[in-house]
């Protein structure tokens, strides 16, 4: 009886899966078109899955092994099942292989079950709680059904009742694993995830045989020339189709939720919920079936949307509230942690673009800052002619006078900020001590456009960027050095698309190079213990984790690392215009970060970003002092040991006058 | 209703922009539910001006009527003609332009020419019905005066009027500038003027002799010292006019 029933069951579930897949594909195709090389993507998919995705999953060793056993076992078992039971090729090794595969899958599913016994808050419950049982149902029933096929049990073992019971369990297993994969259910992540990896909108993120992928963190430019095109994303169908596909790939593991600073601060954002809301919107319906943590302070079940309905309503409620989108600090912690390589920040900025460019609804100080950027080229509304006032006594060489220099020192808007001016003065002292041939743009410099872009004002960003590129093209320099990681990121990663390709260095990288070249000499560190805070836009955005630590090491400082450091560093709360839109939460993000600092017992936290400095220094009752790396270096400068001669001694004398 | 909009000038950089007060006027118009709002500008159309005018369109308008005028012309006749041709119920204007003459006289001259009443310094328009508008006029120190004015009328906005909404790039780019022709009247008087950069006027020092925070607060919140003033009630128009005339003579305004 099984011999006739099994092929029918398998064929039926496969046929239903194909229909489901077609329906799912139709949902994705509601999105806008996107240039994707389909065949190349499919060919690259196995490697992206086995190398890049696994690299992220493997940060949690137990879960990684569990997934390898379960998923590997399932894929093998499914293929062999079709061969053995569907086509009746049980002879020889195939049957035994199927036994092994289903056994492996069962072992994996036991670990899945174990994790589901006391699941951490970040995991979604609901249908996900039945997944280990479904995995077991599939693997066990396949295992049992295969036993007679390889001859371990007699063909007619047991009664027809046993066979029927086995078939029922198998139907459950097939239902979840094959039918559910394309019709929606926990296993959807496998189908959508595989295609998402193949058709990812940032193909350059992935490694190839030739080498590592790059971090690919620059936002993509919006075409502003087409006057009739709506700007940004208003409805779920305004996303590109591969973005929709990416949302559908979410496994609801909640790693993003666990690292999101806004979620931890009690601001109404949860990256996982946001992605699930996009899936709800794509298919149409309400978020009532969502079984994970809600946006803090916003109960589940009050929002609904459709593929062509607005995501954010002008008034009242739609799919997502605007304050959810404005809570994001664009720190990319979620993207860094996501095992499915979903691009949360891209999606959030896409939706912000619509709110700013079409609705004109940037909250709180957003509109004022954008108006300032338009009228004065800096977010504070200061006189562009006052940009160099902090350096009135330094006689900084101007590009306008020199026309060329080895290093162009990009000051950033910190030039107007009295705290950051101290950092800048220190940096100038360091550069002079190392005898670097540098010049500044002076009043010709404008805001890089970082804040405007992240507040969704692509028009102002492009206007600033194009004018900056025009200014930079007038002069000759080898590289740009800046102490602002936001400018660093924008100049280095986002100007390229608009025609400006530059070699940009963060000042910590540059100082490390100078030190390695023997051009800087430090006296030994006498202060207390020090920790280092990785700025998001330097670390996660640009992969620079080592240079600042190398500089600190050169100063004789042993860094007491915070629990969340390096690529897992927690945001200071200053990115993405978050201090400007200022969405209220239960606590402040910088307070949490200074809490991290306190845990290390450090008396001083070294930073490398004006935003981080401002945010962390704004913490009341902090246990540690906040100093920029440039300041620490400037304080430790000494003349070169006697052998290198008089020249650097005069340099030092000059440098002393600077501060 | 029609809002008169002008090209503004940023106080720090001098870049053209939507004028703050005119934008407040637009915002004031938008607070009235169901109002049909037209934007009207008389002036030259060039790149800088266009960007500034599009700033008003970005507040949610499809079109702006632009009466094209050469640079040194008097906008008054052109505006008066346009308003006379299709009289709106209410004309809203800013207190004064941010560049050019900036005398703040345009609404008054317009009202005189059209024979319409004028109310200055509005904080809100509360209601427009039956040919009468109920408006709230802003007075110093947060005081308000409710007035009823017969329509059509011209009103100007005060800085106390609601702050203008953000101008959105998309609608600003998509909106139309509907250019219309009007007779050009050269501004003969202005042609004879000499222009030079304004000098910052010295600020009068306000010396507060206060021993305590309470005194300082009282000084800051005190009403303007008048003392010499006179409130006339229940007098005829002639008596009132005579009193005003007498005061102007005394103050040396009229000679």
A590-633 pLDDT tens trace: 999 999 999 999 999 999 999 999 999 999 999 999 999 999 99
* Nearby residues of A491 by Cβ (< 8 Å), 6 or more positions away: A410, A448, A468, A480, A482, A500, A502, A504
- If we measure between CA atoms, which residue out of B46, B104, B109, B43 comes closest to residue B73? B43
| pLDDT of res. A211 | 81
In this predicted model, what pLDDT tens digit does every residue of A405-460 receive, in sequence order?
999 999 999 999 999 999 999 999 999 999 999 999 999 999 999 999 999 999 99
Q: Which of A228, A357, A381 sits opposite B168 (nearest CB)?
A: A357
| pLDDT of res. B250 | 87
| Dihedral Cα A535, A541, A547, A550, nearest 10 deg | 50
For residue A655, pLDDT over 60 is answered with no
* Whole-complex ipTM: 0.88
Identify residues of A whose CB sits under 8 angstroms from chain B CBs: 224, 227-228, 230-231, 356-362, 366-367, 370-371, 374-377, 381-384, 457-460
In this predicted model, what pLDDT tens digit does every residue of A188-214 receive, in sequence order?
999 999 999 999 999 999 998 888 888
A358 and B170 within 8 Å at the Cβ level: the answer is yes
Q: Could you please report the per-residue DSSP string of B48-73? A: HHHHHHHHHHTTT-SEEEEEE--TTB
Which spans in A485-625 are helix H?
Answer: 485-489, 507-516, 546-554, 578-581, 589-600, 610-617
Distance in angstroms (rounded) separating the CA atoms of residues B62 and B58:
9
A42-46, A272-276, A560-564, B72-76: the lowest-pLDDT one: B72-76
B173 and A376 within 8 Å at the Cβ level: the answer is no
Per CB-CB distance under 8 Å, the chain B contacts of A227 are 173-174
Look at residue B117 and tell me if it is in a domain: yes
Angle at which helices A366-376 and A458-472 cross, to 10° = 30
CATH at residue B169: 3.40.50.620
Per CB-CB distance under 8 Å, the chain B contacts of A371 are 17, 166
| pLDDT of res. A446 | 96
Task: Give the predicted TM-score (pTM) of the model.
Answer: 0.92
In this predicted model, what pLDDT tens digit does every residue of A222-264 receive, in sequence order?
999 888 777 999 999 999 999 999 999 999 999 999 999 999 9
Look at residue B57 and tell me if it is in a domain: yes
CB atoms within 10 A of CB A227: 8
* Nearby residues of A561 by Cβ (< 8 Å), 6 or more positions away: A531, A532, A600
In this predicted model, what pLDDT tens digit does every residue of A502-533 receive, in sequence order?
999 999 999 999 999 999 999 999 999 999 99
Distance in angstroms (rounded) separating the CA atoms of residues A104 and A632:
55
Over range A213-221, report the average pLDDT.
91
* Nearby residues of A443 by Cβ (< 8 Å), 6 or more positions away: A384, A385, A387, A388
Residue keyed to tokens 């040396």: B252
| pLDDT of res. A521 | 95
Over range A457-482, report the average pLDDT.
97
In this predicted model, what pLDDT tens digit does every residue of A549-561 receive, in sequence order?
999 999 999 999 9
CB A327 within 8 A of CB A268: yes
In this predicted model, what pLDDT tens digit does every residue of B160-173 receive, in sequence order?
999 999 999 999 99
For residue A650, pLDDT over 50 is answered with no
| pLDDT of res. B142 | 84
| pLDDT of res. A649 | 46
Look at residue B20 and tell me if it is in a domain: yes
Q: Compute the mean pLDDT over every residue in chain A, rounded to the nearest whole number.
A: 92
In this predicted model, what pLDDT tens digit does every residue of A25-80 receive, in sequence order?
999 999 999 989 999 999 999 999 999 999 999 999 999 999 999 999 999 999 99
Q: Which domain holds residue B108?
A: 2-191
Helix (H) or strand (E) holding B129, with range, is strand B118-129
For residue B227, pLDDT over 70 is answered with no
As a whole-number percent, the residues of chain A with pLDDT over 70 amount to: 96
Per CB-CB distance under 8 Å, the chain B contacts of A456 are none
| pLDDT of res. B165 | 95
The domain A236-359 is placed in CATH, from the list 3.40.390, 1.10.1060, 1.20.1250, 1.10.10, at: 1.10.1060
| pLDDT of res. A643 | 57
DSSP state of A533: P
pLDDT tier at B199 (50, 70, 90 boundaries)? confident
- Name the burial class of residue A516, with classes exposed (0-12), middle (13-18) and buried (19+) by CB atoms within 10 angstroms of its CB: exposed
Closest-CA residue of B relative to A360 is B168
Closest-CA residue of B relative to A230 is B170
Over range B4-13, report the average pLDDT.
94
- As for how many domains chain B has, the answer is 1
Distance in angstroms (rounded) separating the CA atoms of residues A613 and A628:
7
Over range B59-69, report the average pLDDT.
94
Per CB-CB distance under 8 Å, the chain B contacts of A381 are 12
Look at residue B241 and tell me if it is in a domain: no
Distance in angstroms (rounded) separating the CA atoms of residues B145 and A310:
42
- Name the burial class of residue A307, with classes exposed (0-12), middle (13-18) and buried (19+) by CB atoms within 10 angstroms of its CB: middle
* Nearby residues of B170 by Cβ (< 8 Å), 6 or more positions away: A230, A231, A357, A358, B58
Look at residue B217 and tell me if it is in a domain: no
| pLDDT of res. A653 | 47
Q: Which of A356, A370, A375 sits opposite B13 (nearest CB)?
A: A375
Look at residue B204 and tell me if it is in a domain: no
Q: Could you please report the per-residue DSSP string of A327-368? A: T-----HHHHH-TT---HHHHHHHHHHHIIIII---TTTHHH
């Amino acid at each position: 009886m099984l011999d006739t029933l099994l092929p029918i069951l398998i064929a039926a579930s496969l046929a239903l899966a194909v229909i489901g897949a077609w329906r799912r594909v139709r949902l994705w195709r509601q999105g806008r078109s996107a240039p994707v090389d389909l065949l190349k993507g499919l060919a690259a998919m196995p490697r992206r899955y086995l190398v890049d995705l696994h690299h992220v999953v493997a940060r949690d060793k137990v879960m990684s092994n569990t997934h390898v056993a379960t998923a590997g076992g399932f894929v093998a078992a499914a293929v062999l099942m079709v061969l053995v039971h569907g086509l009746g090729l049980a002879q020889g090794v195939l049957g035994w292989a199927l036994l092994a595969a289903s056994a492996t899958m069962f072992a994996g599913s036991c670990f899945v079950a174990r994790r589901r016994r006391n699941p951490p808050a970040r995991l979604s419950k609901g249908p996900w709680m039945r997944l280990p049982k479904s995995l077991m149902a599939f693997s066990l029933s396949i295992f049992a059904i295969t036993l007679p096929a390889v001859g371990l049990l007699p063909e007619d073992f047991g009664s027809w009742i046993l066979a029927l019971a086995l078939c029922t369990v198998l139907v459950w297993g097939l239902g979840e694993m094959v039918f559910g994969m394309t019709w929606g259910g926990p296993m959807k992540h496998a189908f959508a995830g595989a295609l998402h990896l193949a058709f990812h909108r940032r193909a350059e993120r992935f490694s190839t045989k030739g080498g590592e992928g790059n971090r690919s963190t620059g936002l993509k430019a919006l075409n502003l020339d087409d006057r009739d095109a709506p700007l940004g994303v208003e409805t779920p169908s305004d996303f590109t189709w591969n973005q929709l596909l990416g949302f559908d790939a979410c496994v609801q593991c909640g790693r993003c939720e666990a690292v999101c600073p806004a979620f931890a601060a009690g601001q109404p954002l949860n990256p996982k919920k946001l992605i699930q809301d996009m899936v709800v919107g794509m298919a149409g319906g309400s978020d009532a079936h969502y079984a994970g943590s809600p946006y803090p302070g916003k109960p589940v079940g009050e929002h609904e949307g459709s593929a062509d309905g607005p995501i954010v309503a002008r008034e009242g409620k739609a799919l997502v509230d605007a304050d959810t989108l404005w809570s994001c600090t664009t720190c990319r912690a979620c993207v860094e942690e996501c095992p499915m390589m979903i691009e949360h920040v891209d999606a959030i900025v896409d939706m912000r673009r619509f709110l700013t460019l079409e609705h004109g609804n940037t909250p709180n100080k957003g509109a004022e800052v954008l108006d300032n950027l338009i009228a004065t080229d800096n977010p504070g509304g200061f006189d562009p002619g006052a940009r160099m006032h902090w350096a009135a006594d330094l006689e900084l060489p101007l590009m306008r006078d020199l026309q060329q220099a080895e290093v162009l020192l990009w000051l950033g808007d910190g030039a107007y900020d009295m705290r950051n001016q101290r950092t800048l003065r220190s940096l100038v002292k360091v550069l002079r001590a190392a005898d670097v041939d540098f010049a500044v743009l002076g009043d010709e410099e404008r805001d890089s456009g970082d804040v405007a872009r992240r507040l969704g004002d692509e028009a102002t960003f492009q206007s600033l960027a194009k004018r900056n590129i025009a200014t930079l093209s007038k002069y000759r320099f080898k590289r740009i050095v800046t102490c602002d990681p936001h400018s660093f990121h924008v100049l280095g990663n986002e100007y390229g698309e608009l025609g400006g390709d530059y070699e940009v260095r963060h000042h910590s990288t540059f100082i490390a190079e100078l030190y390695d070249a023997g051009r800087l000499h430090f006296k030994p560190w006498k202060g207390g213990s020090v920790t280092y805070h990785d700025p998001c836009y330097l670390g996660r955005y640009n992969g620079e984790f080592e240079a600042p630590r190398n500089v600190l090491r050169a100063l004789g400082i042993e860094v007491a690392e915070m629990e969340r450091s390096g690529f897992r560093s927690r945001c200071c709360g200053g990115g993405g215009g978050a201090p400007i839109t200022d969405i209220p939460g239960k606590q402040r993000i910088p307070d949490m970060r200074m809490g991290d600092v306190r845990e290390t017992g450090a008396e001083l936290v070294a930073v490398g970003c004006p935003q981080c400095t401002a945010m962390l220094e704004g913490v009341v009752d902090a246990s540690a002092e906040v100093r920029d790396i440039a300041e620490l270096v400037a304080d430790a400068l000494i003349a070169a040991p006697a052998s290198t001669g008089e020249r650097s001694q005069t340099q030092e004398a000059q440098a002393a006058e600077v501060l | 209703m029609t809002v008169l909009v002008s090209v503004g000038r940023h106080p720090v950089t001098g870049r053209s922009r939507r004028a703050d007060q005119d934008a407040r006027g637009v915002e004031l118009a938008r607070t009235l539910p169901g109002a049909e709002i037209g934007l009207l500008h008389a002036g030259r159309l060039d790149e800088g001006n266009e960007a500034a005018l599009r700033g008003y369109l970005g507040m949610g308008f499809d079109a702006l009527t632009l009466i094209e005028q050469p640079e040194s012309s008097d906008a008054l006749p052109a505006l008066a003609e346009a308003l006379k041709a299709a009289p709106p119920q209410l004309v809203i204007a800013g207190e004064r332009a941010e560049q050019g003459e900036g005398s703040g006289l345009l609404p008054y001259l317009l009202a005189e020419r059209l024979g319409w009443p004028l109310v200055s310094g509005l904080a809100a328009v509360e209601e427009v019905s039956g040919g009468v508008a109920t408006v709230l006029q802003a007075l110093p120190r947060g005081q308000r005066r409710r007035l009823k004015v017969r329509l059509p009328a011209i009103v100007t906005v005060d800085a106390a009027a609601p702050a203008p909404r953000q101008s959105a790039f998309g609608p600003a780019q998509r909106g139309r500038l509907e250019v219309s022709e009007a007779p050009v009247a050269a501004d003969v008087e202005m042609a004879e003027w000499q222009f030079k950069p304004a000098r910052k006027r010295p600020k009068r020092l306000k010396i507060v002799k206060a021993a305590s925070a309470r005194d300082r607060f009282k000084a800051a919140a005190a009403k303007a010292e008048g003392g010499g003033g006179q409130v006339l009630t229940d007098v005829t128009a002639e008596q009132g006019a005579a009193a005003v005339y007498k005061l102007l003579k005394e103050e040396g305004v009229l000679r």
